[in-house]
Structure 1
Amino acid sequence: MTSPASPASAPKLCVLKFGSSVLHTADDYARAAHEVYRHTRAGEKVVAVVSALDGETDALFDVGASVGQNSHDAMLARLVRCGELKSAALMGLALQRAGITAAVLDPHEMSLKAEGSSLDANLTGLDKARVLAHFEQADVIVAPGFFGEGADGPVTLGRGGTDLTAVMFAHWLGASRARLIKDVDGVYTDDPAHVPDAHRFDQLDYAEAARVSRGLVQDKAIQAAQSLGVIIEVAALGKAFATRIGPVPPKTGARHRVRPLRVAMLGHGSVGAGVCEHLLAHPGRFQLNPVLVRNALDHARNGQAGLRFTEDLAEALENQPDIVVETIGGTGVARSLSQSVLRDGMHLVTANKAVIALDFDRLHELAADSGRQLRYSAAVGGGAPILETLDRVSQSGAVLSVEGVMNGTCNFILGRLGEGALLADAIAEAQALGFAEADPRGDIDGDDAADKLAIIIRHAFGVSIAPGDIAKESLSDLSAHRMQAAAEQNLVFKQVGHCSASSDGRIEARIELRALEPDHRLALLRNEENGFLVQLPHESLYVQGKGAGRWPTAEAVFADIVDIQRLAGGHLKQPAGLRPQRCAQTARMPGEEIA
């Protein structure tokens, strides 16, 4: 979550609409969450408007007709709206699992008003202030489309009514556009599923869009957008391009044919397995090599369908993959592999904060020399996009300081200690939930937070500080007497990383156990949540999200993978003259670090 921590300009806002053409089963909400996360980590607030699952509205109409037998339309409207209510709740759950802060609002909670017939009404009003207030605590507002509150109860907006909801939200809330996520990547001259040489439009005026879209976008939504000056984008999941509908002349563009991205996965522990699940959920977009693991037989017996496993590094890197995803961890094998991967012309995505902190300059040099991408969003913050935020704000103004709760494991453990648990019991619970490693000393002693703080310092100030040179305070030094004294004063202990720049350019950095007032924003973080306060010359920003666990970390890793695919446009060519990969010369991997 990114929001102003002090009064500032309104955040950039985007409305995303997910129709039933992309929501077929409950599994599709995770794919929709990826699309939402792409926008939130780019610094946008998102209103996600959702349709019912594919076929559900028709099924509700059918059962209503069967039970009611020509009953009043107003009663049918009450029934068929349930598909959107269910869908909004499922979307909220998917975002929560991914570590994205979201609020799910029903129409009556937004004063979303409508007028007209029960089954074909139009939206007429919204309580803007009431809706925007939720962005103080969330990055995403999820709203059911297709219906609003009429004078005598719920009314629906007609077939395709969720398009209209998205357009009206964009108008009322001042969003930059309404992006309609469909099962096609834009508007075509003909149906591309049946006409292979159909041309795709880069842009369309409103009248031409109504003529050629043939129901792809609801006519009422196009008419409303034209009268209100709202830009509509028609796009597919995960695609950077779209057909823009607005006050522009029609223009056709190239039809995008993207070959699958070849991916090598190194490691299949908690995070690696989560990333693999995301990759497999997008058939046609990714081609997975055998996954490198310590014991291939065990993983084959218990692993995911559709995956092959190997203990042989050369096999994991066969056929020169486009991208290598390292989830091994540690600073042994993973450290040498990270350099070899970039040196040999492959993109690298990693969640390994220790390797990035140690070899920041060298890895970036190798990436630049080979013309490849180095991505490591998951190394700091998990689902809290702190590095992306720092990259944005450091370009426009000096960062004065950054401080935050940056170790979700410690935050969870400190919460349990505050409830009276013993340290050993709190650690065991964190391990059982997948937040803590088998050896938790890196978290407990502050080494993990120091690695993250060193990376933050590079992005905030462009200065190199070795993690070992950052002062650290260990949880094991937190005495029961100190905990009791804080409790008596109603204070909350947090492990806080702090870095700031002095007027002479010196950087102060430390990891400390700090007793905070209960209403402090960092004190409000619960369980595995991370939170960061970024102080700028004239304002401060707050970034929040889940910082530990399989799904928030896997979400950040997957977002890096998709960013590389999007930037490359699918044209991922091997540089000329590449040597055979040196990192494949070792036939087998040492097994001590591989899940």
Structure 2
Amino acid sequence: MPASALALVADKQKPQAAPDAEVVVLKFGSSVLRNAAEAPAVASEIYGHVRAGRKVVAVVSALSGHTDRLLADARALGLDHENELLPAYVVLGEEKAAALVAIACDRVGLDAVGLSVGELGIVVEGPAQHARPVSLKGERLQQALAEHEVVVVPGFGGVRSNGRVALLGRGGSDLTAVVLAAELGLDRVRLVKDVDGLYDRDPACETGTPLRYRRASWETARQLGGALVQHDAIDLGMQHGVEIEVAALGRAEGTVVGERGAPPGPVQPEAPLRVALAGCGVVGGGLLNRLLPDKRYEVVGVLVRNPAKKRDVAAPADLFTNDVEALLAKKPDLLLEAMSEGEAGHALIRRALEAGCDVVSANKQAVARDPAGLQALAAANGCRVAWSASVGGGAPMIETLRAARAAGPVAGFEAVLNGTVNFMLQRLGEGAAFADALSDARVAGFAEEDPSSDLEGHDAAAKVKLLSFEAFGRAPADLPRDELSAETPLGDRPVRQIGACHDRGGRLEASVRLDGDLKDALFQSLNGERNALKVYGQDGRVWTCKGRGAGRWATTESVLADVADVVRARRAAAELV
């Protein structure tokens, strides 16, 4: 990319860093990132885009109030408003927030990297507090996009030709996002705010009914946007043909600011989605932790074996029940099934679907029993069933296979599918005793108290069946499995548990094997609980994905991504009525 790319963006070249992946620029302001506890919600928004096959550049503002505190600290030492040392200190707020978001992304299994203001390379000129971007030295950004799924960058700051940091004015993170979208040849940038778009008046006002713009012209945005979108960002977007989308966390719709406008209309307020949870272990506890403080959801009940058991999530005691009938009698809109038992989970999913309740499951043993039957039952009752979290944890394996199949017939796939076993194999390869490796997996939150399903290959076999259903519309009749035990000979080479299925002239050949003769760099590179998938198209094309295959937060994130898909489908269906 040329150093003076701002003058050349009219060419609209696609980013060289990721020619096979769409790139999106998302900006998160302090209204949605008020404190460190809200970083997981930002990571969820990013995860949804990565799961859909996109690479993400996330522009982050400082946490709420942090910039003012930094300014106060500096002024207490005698630095005045125009001191050229002040901006380098102030942008530490954005850099800290960017680091927190990158950490939150890593926790859920995203391949993320954070850049500093200097590494990002926006070159600016003009006043230290309100500089103007003139170019981007984008080599570091391009390299990061080529090597990672997510690049998290600080907004608000740029670098002068003399190397000193300058600020882009209040609201300057909006401008940073528009600059990067223009430089990457994108037609749109998404600004994630605490409101779901641009309104004709303050949505919090008590007089009249505020109307939201589906599309707003540049001029309308200048007149009504106020502090919602920085005017410099609006001007640059108009200059370079980059539409600015304003939306809220978890909402597909918002306001698109661009050349064309449209009259505003009323917005029907949405009641919280009534959610029931089945299971409160590693995954269920993670879901409860995320859902309880989220005003978009109302948790109406949690199905557990022992309602009186102490748990690691603070929740009202009256939520817990061991009575399936009592749970379904609460008439939830959505059931999140995260039980450890396959048969009981399958029966509960069917009961919920028969009652017209949408279902998201993380229970591969339950879903793999009859995925086609569950889909048919959901369709017959006008509801939805999703199970992406049941395979691969935070790695979007179901989505990758669906994308491959949409592009043409699939010849086969190979995958590391069990995070617990992969974690243990690494420990065993490092010389740990079997009992110690298993204990470490339990402490890390990857292994259940009864790990037999993982160690005997049943967990991976169920996932192979589900992936086979996605790839071929059917599951293999025979699926031999290797077991991992203290007596399993592993040799002195890296070993991975590989689940695979290939179409051999119409016959499916599948297996779960402990492979000590790995030649594939993708599988060789996997450490700890990480999983990966490689899909082979009949035309020779190959699709891959990887991520954390076990653990509370990675799997929780995958469930929440399915929830977001279900919510969007519910909204779309409601609009057709």
1:472 to 452, 470, 481: 481
Across the aligned residues of Structure 1 and Structure 2, the Cα RMSD in angstroms comes to 2.1
Q: TM-score, normalised by structure 2?
A: 0.92
Task: Go from structure 1 to structure 2 and tell me whether the alpha carbon gap of 1:525 and 1:463 turns closer, same or farther (over 3 Å shift).
Answer: same
Distance 2:474 2:312 in 1: 45
Does 2:109 align with 1:99? yes
1:517-567 Cα distance to aligned partner (Å, 9 max, x none): 587111111111111112232532220110101111111112212221222
- 5 Å-filtered alignment, 1:36-47, equals 36-47=46-57
Q: 1:593 maps to what in 2?
A: none
CA distance in 2, matches of 1:515, 1:226: 57
Change in 2 beyond 3 A, CA 1:196/1:67: farther
Structure 1 residue corresponding to 2:148, chosen from 138, 145, 170:
138
Bigger CA drift: 154-163 or 57-66? 57-66
Q: Contact (CA 8 Å) 2:434, 2:486: kept in 1 or not? A: no
Higher relative contact order (CA 8 A, sep 6+): 1
- Identify which of 277, 280, 300 aligns with 1:268: 280
1:565 correspondence with 2:576: no
Q: Among residues 255, 276, 281, which one is paired with 1:243 in the alignment?
A: 255
| Displacement after TM superposition at 1:192 (Å) | 0.8
Amino acid at match of 2:443: A
Distance 1:497 1:282 in 2: 37
Indicate the SS of the match to 1:507: strand
Give the corresponding residue for 1:444: 455
Structure 1 residue 483 corresponds to structure 2 residue 491 = yes
Q: Residue deviations 1:338-391, cap 9 Å, x none?
A: 111111111111111011111112211111100111011110011001101221
Give the residue type in structure 2 aligned to 1:140.
V
Offset at residue 175 of structure 1 (A): 3.3
Question: SS of 1:251's equivalent?
Answer: coil
Which structure 2 residues correspond to residues 143-542 of structure 1 after superposition, within 5 A? Answer: 143-152=153-162, 153-194=164-205, 195-283=207-295, 285-299=296-310, 303-306=313-316, 308-466=319-477, 469-476=478-485, 479-480=488-489, 482-484=490-492, 486=493, 492-502=494-504, 504-516=505-517, 520-536=521-537, 537-542=539-544
| CA deviation vs aligned residue, 1:324-350 (integer Å, no higher than 9, x gap) | 111112123222111111111111111
Aligned: 1:60 with 2:67: no
397-406 or 24-33: bigger deviation: 397-406
C-alpha deviations, 1:417-462, integer Å up to 9, x for none?
1101122221111012110111212111211111101111111122
Residues 448-484 of structure 1, C-alpha deviations (whole Å, 9 max, x = no match): 1111011111111222325xx212222238744x422
Matched, 1:118 2:128: yes
AA at the equivalent of 1:27: A
What are the residue-to-residue correspondences of 1:1-16 with 2, within 5 Å? 9-16=19-26
Equivalent-residue separation in structure 2 for 1:383 and 1:155 (angstroms): 38
Q: How many residues align?
A: 556
Deviations 1:185-215 (A, max 9, x none): 0001111111451110000121221122112
Kindly indicate whether the alpha-carbon contact (under 8 Å) linking 1:8 and 1:539 is maintained by their aligned counterparts in 2. Answer: no
Paired letter, 1:87: A
Q: Give me the whole-angstrom Cα distance separating, in 2, the residues matched to 1:71 and 1:191.
A: 31
CA distance 1:135–1:530, change in 2 (3 Å): farther
Q: Say whether the 8 Å CA contact 1:280–1:306 is kept in structure 2.
A: no
- Equivalent position amino acid for 2:460 in 1: A
Q: State whether residues 14 and 176 of structure 1, in contact with CA within 8 Å, keep that contact through their aligned partners in structure 2.
A: no
**Distance apart, 1:20 and its partner CA:** 0.7
Counterpart of 1:4 in structure 2 is none
- Residues 160-169 or 250-259, more deviating: 250-259
More deviation, 111-120/51-60: 111-120
SS in 1 for 2:153: strand
Cα distance in 2 between the residues matched to 1:334 and 1:103: 38
The amino acid of 2:314's aligned partner reads: Q
- Measured after TM superposition, the shift of residue 133 of structure 1 is 2.8
1:79 Cα deviation from its structure 2 partner: 1.2
8 Å Cα contact 2:52-2:399 kept in structure 1? yes
Dislocated runs of 4+, deviation >4 Å: 477-480, 516-519, 570-573
Give 2:408's aligned amino acid.
G
Letter in 2 for 1:166: A
Amino acid at match of 2:327: A
**Residues 71-129 of structure 1, C-alpha deviations (whole Å, 9 max, x = no match):** 75211101111100100011011111122221111132233322222111122333445
Amino acid at match of 2:534: L
Shift in Å, 1:513: 1.6
One-letter code aligned to 1:416:
R
Residue 483 of structure 1: SS of its match in structure 2?
coil
SS of residue paired to 2:499: strand
Closer/same/farther in 2, CA of residues 399 and 134 from structure 1, 3 Å limit: farther
Q: Cα offset for 1:176?
A: 4.6
Contact in 1 for aligned 2:476/2:509 (Cα 8 Å):
no
2:556 corresponds in structure 1 to 554
3-state SS of 1:191 partner: coil
User: Partners of 2:346 and 2:193 in 1: how far apart?
Assistant: 41
SS at match of 2:251: coil
> Quick one: distance in 1 between partners of 2:56 and 2:316?
33
Distance, in Å, in 2 between the alignment partners of 1:326 and 1:186 is: 33
User: What's the offset of the Cα at 1:318?
Assistant: 2.7
Q: Contact 2:59–2:177 at 8 Å: present in 1 too?
A: yes
Q: SS of the residue aligned with 2:495?
A: strand
Q: Percent identity?
A: 39
Q: How far, CA to CA, are the matches of 1:225 and 1:422 in structure 2?
A: 59
Counterparts in 2 of 1:509 and 1:134: CA distance versus 1, 3 Å: farther
Q: Aligned residue for 1:590?
A: none
Q: Note the C-alpha offset of 1:302.
A: 5.8
The whole-number CA distance in structure 1 between the counterparts of 2:25 and 2:263 is 24
- What is aligned with 2:14? none
Partner Cα separation in structure 2 for residue 65 and residue 74 of structure 1? 13
Question: Matched residues in 2 for 1:530 and 1:191: separation?
Answer: 46
